Structure 1
Amino acid sequence: MPEIHLSPTDRAIVEMLQEGRCTPAYIASKNDYSRAHVRNRLHRLVELGYVARIHKGLYEIETNPIK
């Protein structure tokens, strides 16, 4: 997997997802971010293969990253 620069938001998202599945709203509320910002970062992490969208609005860490 290529090394990427993780923003503070990305790090917070990954840390929360390491504990289990989360929604953007839950991540945003626990970290004082807007839901839109968290959604944008989640979309980026999904594109990079680090996070999987398992259902509408529900995400988890990708166990078998493609990249």
Structure 2
Amino acid sequence: MDLTQCDPGARATIVAVDVPATAGLRLRELGLRPGAVVEVTHDVGATGRVVAVGAERFALDLPTCASVRVEVGR
């Protein structure tokens, strides 16, 4: 499952992030790395999702959301 399949309010654990190296580095700096628990706070339709990692909130575009594999309810 990836972040595009998560509804607002869903909490999930990141399993893998499959993006180019430069983007992967930036996402890890933001805390979006395997093992991190994220919550989808907003579904902004065709443009992506807003996710929370702890107290931080990030808007991710749809292709990036599709590249973040998660397990819901872990």
Q: Same fold (TM over 0.5)?
A: no
Point out the structure with the larger helix share.
Answer: 1
Which has the bigger relative contact order, CA under 8 A and spacing at least 6? 2
- Normalising by the residue count of structure 2, what TM-score does the alignment of the two structures yield? 0.30
